[in-house]
Amino acid sequence: MRLRNERWNAGHQRLTRTIHNADAMPTRICWILLSGLLLSHTLQAQPLTANTDARYRERLRAFAFPPRAVRLLDSPFLEAMQRDVAYLFELDPDRLLSRFRRFAGLEPKAPEYGGWESQGISGHTLGHYLSALSMYYAATGDEKARARIDYIVSELAEVQRAHGNGYVGAIPEGDRLWAEIARGEIWQAEPFSLNGAWVPWYTMHKIFQGLIDAYWYGGSEQALEVVTRLADWAYETTKNLTPAQWQQMLRTEHGGMNEALANLYSITGNPKHRELSEKFYHAAVLSPLARGIPNLTGLHANTQIPKVIGVVRQYELIGSDSLRAVAEFFWEEVVQHHTYVIGGNSQNEHFGPRDSLANRLGEGTAETCNTYNMLRLTRHLFALHPEKVRYVDFYERALYNHILASQDPKRGMFTYYMSLRPGHFKTYATPENSFWCCVGTGMENHVKYNEFIYFYNGDTLYVNLFIPSELNWERRALRLRLETAFPESNRVRLDFDPEVPQRLVVKVRHPSWAQDALEVRINGEVQSVTSRPGSYLTLARLWQPGDEVEITLPMRLRVETMPDNPDRFAILYGPIVLAGVFGSRGLPEGGAYAKDQWEFFGWPAPPLPKLCGDLNRVEDWVKPLATGGELRFHTVGVGRPADVLLKPFYEVHHERYTIYWDRCR
């Protein structure tokens, strides 16, 4: 517990002193101290090397708080986290470990799960599971989670000892596969298959990162030992590959191996870890992006996004501007030219032609993994450029309209795709027989809603999201409570409780969707302040115990049209996408739960209305319903053949819906 507290609680001033004195320390001591003081990769205040620290501090201009500093209050986000955690504890670790033990020659303690965990990608879920448990533990200190982390890591250590070479995995025919790779025998490198194995490096990435998270978040020293030996195995397995063989191998999806190894390098300082991270540079995709060439059409979307996260992580540690350029250009390209109104991207997992979205609305629209990874990329870029509020605007949109919308409120299960086919419905995983990639990322999605609400730099506090929460800024001896019923209400209240009065610059996001001025009251008095949409409202003062700030956000109805069809549009209220709902007739009895993610493709949909309203005057024909606080709207006189009921997409479950509408002339 002491080590964990040191890892999360070290203040920025102490960190700076440590870094400045790093050169005077023995190398190993320096690395241990730095890795214990700094925050995790997902917190943006990552461990870093002694010889890059000054540039690192210059590069990162905003830092997240440790998970336990931000506590969620009552809201849909807290409810989603609780459902997710309940599912995490329902799962049997021994079943997730089953194939790890079997392929190491050990007797499994329980049968393997079904779905993907009984197929060639087995083992990927355990990595995500470790990450999710570790994040939850870091946020709450729940010792039940810590006990489960420690058990899983100890089991993986036993598996590693059984292999005898540092390897840990659950990939079928892993011994054969990795022996071939070590010999340079790469006889197949297709997008999803390497020498007959289903994306083995993708699976290894989840195991690597799960172990790193178990160390960073979970405080498991044994996890660091296991992942370090695993990295040694990876280095030895690939050390004789030529550059051409590396690039051939990287044609197969390999997750964020470059990121995981960069993260490990930030902890250990071992140059082999940096070298290996840099070898996972897929030149065919990344080099054109570095030159500003959009080359995404036809590519598998979630294969590419983790590569770019790895590149920006390398930039944070190494400082190459070309790496930063890749990440920034990629983000702009995806968000501006390949993203639907909910913040998700891709159709049937692939990018289409640039700005071609109108005819790509189907059951396979918007893979949830993609959005998980785009949010992770966005957090990195925001830490580099906190003045670019568009990063936060995108994050908010995707968080409410895709991630929050992706969890089943009945059983806590997750969507693979976020179907945008008009009149279709959401399909969820089964608890024990699916284990898709989006189940793994789903486990993580709903335990880390606290990670982006607040950021800081020095005496500046950024309030990014309007999610009910409490911040405990220990270094400042300041508690801040954010209370709101947003988006049902447009009022946000910040209650300040410093132990002593202190000067602080508070920057509250003025969202791009809030086109009118913000109304601000401090202790009940209207303030004369200025801000513009897509910027931060700045409040600088000596904050006293009991100070209260109330902000009124101007929320309006609006439409967004498709870039390639101005007569196909979506309706939003502030950042919230509104869906037309059409009941549950014809849906699977008991709910659309599927072992196969394509199981409900092609189900018939009822005829749907068109809307004939003037898109420039949407408030004339979309009207609120008096519902006692819930966001509900209906169209008036524009539906052909009938008007429709609208509600937030994140509240739509187990019923048919439509997000994009066709305008009738």
Helices 221-238 and 143-163 pack at an angle, to 10 degrees, of 30
What gap in Å lies between CA 61 and CA 592, rounded to an integer? 44
Using an 8 Å Cβ cutoff, are 395 and 464 in contact? yes
Between 38-52, 363-377, 535-549, 551-565, the lowest mean confidence (pLDDT) is in 38-52
Neighbours of 624 (CB within 10 A): 13
Residue 30 clears pLDDT 50, i.e. is over it: no
How high does pLDDT run on average in the chain? 92
> Stretch 540-553: mean pLDDT, rounded?
98
Per-residue buried b or exposed e for 254-287, using 16+ beta carbons within 10 Å of the residue's own CB: bbbbbbbbbbbbbbbbbebbbebbbbbbbeebbe
Identify the DSSP state of 367. B
Amino acid at 132: A
Residue 8 clears pLDDT 90, i.e. is over it: no
**CB neighbour class for 390 (10 Å; exposed up to 12, middle 13-18, buried from 19):** middle
The pLDDT tens digits for 271-324 are 999 999 999 999 999 999 999 999 899 999 999 999 999 999 999 999 999 999
The pLDDT tens digits for 626-662 are 878 899 999 999 999 999 999 999 999 999 999 999 9
- Going by pLDDT thresholds of 50, 70 and 90, the confidence category of residue 270 is very high
Select from 186, 327, 199 the least CA-distant residue to 253: 199
The predicted structure's pLDDT at residue 486: 97
What gap in Å lies between CA 335 and CA 354, rounded to an integer? 11
What gap in Å lies between CA 150 and CA 459, rounded to an integer? 37
Between 75-84, 132-141, 249-258, 597-606, the lowest mean confidence (pLDDT) is in 597-606
Residue showing tokens 């039940």: 144
What gap in Å lies between CA 394 and CA 333, rounded to an integer? 13
The predicted structure's pLDDT at residue 31: 33
> Stretch 163-188: mean pLDDT, rounded?
98
The predicted structure's pLDDT at residue 57: 60
The pLDDT tens digits for 38-83 are 333 333 333 323 233 444 567 899 999 999 999 999 999 999 999 9
The pLDDT tens digits for 214-239 are 999 999 999 999 999 999 999 999 99
Question: Which token pair is 246?
Answer: 């590396």
Residue 337 clears pLDDT 60, i.e. is over it: yes
The predicted structure's pLDDT at residue 56: 58
Residue 4 clears pLDDT 50, i.e. is over it: no
Select from 403, 104, 123, 77 the least CA-distant residue to 112: 123
The predicted structure's pLDDT at residue 44: 31
Using an 8 Å Cβ cutoff, are 447 and 136 in contact? yes
Which of 16-20, 163-167, 598-602 ranks highest by mean pLDDT?
163-167
The predicted structure's pLDDT at residue 665: 74
Bridge partners of 72?
469
pTM above 0.85, yes or no: yes
Residue 2 clears pLDDT 80, i.e. is over it: no
Calculate the alpha carbon distances from 385 to 20, 46, 324, 389, 461 in Å.
24, 16, 11, 9, 15
Between 85-89, 307-311, 317-321, 542-546, the lowest mean confidence (pLDDT) is in 317-321
Between 70-74, 242-246, 528-532, 547-551, the lowest mean confidence (pLDDT) is in 528-532
Please enumerate in sequence order all residues whose Cβ is within 8 A of that of 583, keeping only pairs 6 or more positions apart, or say none: 655, 656
Residue 595 clears pLDDT 90, i.e. is over it: yes
The pLDDT tens digits for 379-399 are 999 999 999 999 999 999 999
- Going by pLDDT thresholds of 50, 70 and 90, the confidence category of residue 579 is very high
For the chain, how long is the longest CA-to-CA vector? 77
